[in-house]
Amino acid sequence: MDDDVQTSISIDSPSRNTNALSIVNSNDTSPPPPIPYVGQIFPDLESGRQFYYCYAGYVAFDVRRYSSKLIDYVIQSKKFVCSKQGESMKKMDTDLVECHKISRKSHNVRESCKAQITFKIDTGSTNWRVHIFVKHHTHELVTSKKRRFLRVNRHMSSTSRGLLDSLNSAHIQPSQQYSYTAMASGGFFNLSYTQNDFYNYRRDGRISACPKDVDLVLDKFENLKSLNPSFFYSIAKDDKGKLKNLF
């Protein structure tokens, strides 16, 4: 959405795991994260996982948890691989449902990629160390314009969830809510989640309601208007003076 557009914005027809990397888009100018290396130490496994996910999100590939080694039910090592590790089935999997064959295609084609990282806990310590790291991929990586759609880069922040909850409380149509959050973020390319993520959030019943949230929505847009003179919005009320719509 261009900043110099000052006309009313129609929002009736919108275009849809937290890690250390909050958002990656085509205009990202942040420095690249460090490249993992064998022997690199982390205070715990989660810190190592977040580091690798951040690296993967910037380089532009998705990650899968692959395997764990346990001793006495305690994890001793953990392996993460590129989502394109392994081989795709030559034939589509089919399920027989109510005597009808339903074919399912996987959107993620496996290409025998060897890129991976394995973390191993240090003996007698709580630290985790990079035990194996394979950097190179056997396939083309996602373009910079599309890497924000990678699973490792998608998450819904507490601020975004709060705004969606507020819009829902204000009885704003679901078809408009995603566009409003994009406006509040400065455009769709600044969102760290997709429209499908938004609908999944609604589907899972995680949107809560609070009558006073209408005022919070209006305060949010007033603040955006003060920060950006080109930002425009207007409201419509019903006969009882209640908020009916946002434009």
58-86: per-residue pLDDT in tens? Answer: 888 989 888 899 988 889 999 999 988 88
pLDDT band with cut points at 50, 70 and 90 for residue 45: very high
pTM > 0.75: no
Pair (188, 130) in one structural domain? no
Number of separate domains in the chain: 2
245 vs 105 pLDDT, higher one: 245
Residue 24 is assigned to a structural domain of this protein: no
The CA-atom distances, in angstroms, between 198 and each of 26, 40, 138, 155 are 21, 36, 32, 10
Pair (164, 231) in one structural domain? yes
| pLDDT at residue 242, rounded to an integer | 54
Model confidence over 121-161: pLDDT tens digits? Answer: 998 899 999 999 999 999 888 777 777 777 777 767 677 77
| pLDDT at residue 171, rounded to an integer | 73
Pair (119, 83) in one structural domain? yes
Alpha helices in the chain (DSSP H): 45-59, 158-169, 174-185, 195-203, 213-227
Give the domain extent around 125: 41-89+99-143
- Which range is least confidently modeled, 12-21, 27-36, 68-77? 12-21
Pair (165, 216) in one structural domain? yes
Pair (114, 66) in one structural domain? yes
Residue 27 is assigned to a structural domain of this protein: no
The CA-atom distances, in angstroms, between 39 and each of 76, 132, 227 are 16, 9, 46
Sheet holding 63-71, edge to edge: 41-42, 128-134, 116-121, 74-82, 63-71
Pair (63, 125) in one structural domain? yes
What is the identity of the amino acid at 23? I
pLDDT band with cut points at 50, 70 and 90 for residue 46: very high
Pair (169, 221) in one structural domain? yes
With contact defined as beta carbons under 8 Å apart, do 41 and 128 qualify? yes
Contacts of 232-235 with C-beta under 8 Å, sequence gap 24+, read 232/6, 232/7, 232/8, 232/9, 233/9, 233/183, 234/8
| pLDDT at residue 32, rounded to an integer | 82
Model confidence over 165-207: pLDDT tens digits? Answer: 777 777 777 777 777 777 776 766 666 667 777 777 766 655 4
pLDDT band with cut points at 50, 70 and 90 for residue 88: low
Model confidence over 102-115: pLDDT tens digits? Answer: 444 445 677 789 99
Mean pLDDT of 212-228: 65
pLDDT band with cut points at 50, 70 and 90 for residue 48: very high
Pair (187, 136) in one structural domain? no
What is the signed CA dihedral for 207, 219, 244, 13, rounded to 10 degrees? Answer: -70
Beta bridge mates, 68: 78
Residue 66 is assigned to a structural domain of this protein: yes
Residue 232 is assigned to a structural domain of this protein: yes
